[in-house]
Chains A and B, each alone.
Chain A
Amino acid sequence: MMWSSDLEERIREVLAQEAEAAREGLEGLEERVMRAIAQRAARPSLWRRLKERWGLGFSPRWALAGAASLALILGFVLGRMFAPSPLPLSAQAGTLFAVVNPQAHSVAVMGDFSAWQPIPLSDPDGDGIWTAVLDLPPGRYEYAFLVDGKWVGQDPQADEYVRSFGEYASVRYVGTGGGA
């Protein structure tokens, strides 16, 4: 039977032997850890990781072109969403035809520019403002709207009105002179 003092002595000896055996492995441990940390590459940026992952390598020229395209698209979308111009646009920018009628199910414009064939107006956001932008060369144009198939000849945006066959038609002067 072993006394506790003997047991304690025995444990101390075993631990000393273990420490002696591990000394060789612990030597220079701190130095090795620090060297490994120093050699570890810095984490690449998100852009660099995307570039490596998807192969998105391009020149600044393309980046500029892309940014300009995005700005154009964004500007167009925002302009279309928030700033419908109440004024007729110039011929270069297209001529805006607009009808405000929340109850309408279909709206079209027709006139000299379409040989009086209806061109549909659209109301994508359903706010009752129906629009179409037509690329018209300069000139004087008679036109009218068809709202749910009914002739509407007097456009508040028109430069003047004419009346024939018992119905009014609107007139726009599109170009460098005249009204629009």
Chain B
Amino acid sequence: MRRWAPVGLALLIGVLGWAQTPLAPPASPEQVLELLQVLPAPPDLKESLAGELIAAMNEQRLTPGVALAFLEEVAELSQADREDALGILNHALAWGYILDPLLNETLKGLRLGRPWPEVAGVLKLRIRLLDATQQVFQWQGVLLMPLGEVQPFQLRAPRPGPPPEAELVLETAWAIGDFLVAGGSPADAASMAREVEERLLRLRGWWLPAELVDRLLAELSPALIQQIVGLALSPERR
């Protein structure tokens, strides 16, 4: 019977494996950098991107598979659009944000066949909201960072994986962005505040630390949201 045991085990593993559809095989950081090197783009931009991409992937702010899919799509764009896309990526990388949602938003827009300027417009709005949310949270003391230390690089992770504060900024900015991108009025701060509250309550305690969410919810108001949106949409930020 012992000779049948491997066959039985292989059969069992095969059947159990059949139960789940595998996701795409994960890409490696090396694959991302190799693709970046062959992209037709200015060498100084690629050099800057390479360093930032390595840092972002090491800090788990960016998944190699998402980065690879993004670069593959960018490679298909026109020269001008490609440089614009890489410039946006470079900016977001340098500011230390969690990148996966931004790149996934790009991929979704391109999958829907939207022209690059439309996709870029959404991305720039998302990035401005991230900037503004981070700043307002720091001003309001939600992130408990002294004002003297307000630097965008504070969102870089001191340990593997993004810090929860970065996740809090991301989810708040993303909830506001979802409202605006769907066509909501920037003046409807009350609705945006509700969207943010619902999003954070869904994530509270398992994805975001409860104490961090509670601290923000205690401060959350239409006025706070209006401050974020006003900062994000101010003409000097466009």
Contact = CB atoms under 8 A, between A and B. Distances in A.
Given A62-B5, A73-B12, A177-B205, A162 B182 contact: yes
B203 A134 contact: no
B182 A177 contact: no
A29 to B, nearest CB: 47
A117 B69 contact: yes
Interface residues of B, number: 44
Nearest to A72: B12
A81 to B, nearest CB: 13
Given A112-B104, A133-B19, A62 B204 contact: no
Contacts of B91: none
Interface residues of A, number: 45
B181 interface: yes
A98 B118 CA distance: 31
A151 B2 CA distance: 51
B178 interface: yes
B69 A139 contact: no
Given A164-B178, A165-B109, A115 B203 contact: no
Contacts, number: 113
B104 A164 contact: no
B207 interface: yes
Nearest to A175: B206
A163 B202 CA distance: 19
Interface of B is mostly: helix
B206 A167 contact: no
B218 to A, nearest CB: 20
B206 A138 contact: yes
Interface string A114-130: 11110110100000000
Given A116-B108, A117-B69, A162-B182, A135 B202 contact: no
B38 to A, nearest CB: 19
Nearest to B15: A73
30 contacts: A57-B1, A62-B1, A62-B5, A69-B8, A73-B11, A76-B19, A112-B100, A114-B23, A115-B104, A116-B107, A117-B24, A119-B23, A140-B207, A142-B104, A142-B108, A159-B202, A163-B183, A164-B108, A164-B181, A165-B114, A165-B122, A166-B112, A169-B108, A173-B202, A173-B203, A177-B202, A177-B205, A178-B202, A178-B206, A178-B207
Interface of A: 56-58, 62, 65-66, 69, 72-73, 76, 80, 94, 110, 112-117, 119-120, 122, 132-135, 138-140, 142, 151, 159, 162-167, 169, 173, 175-179
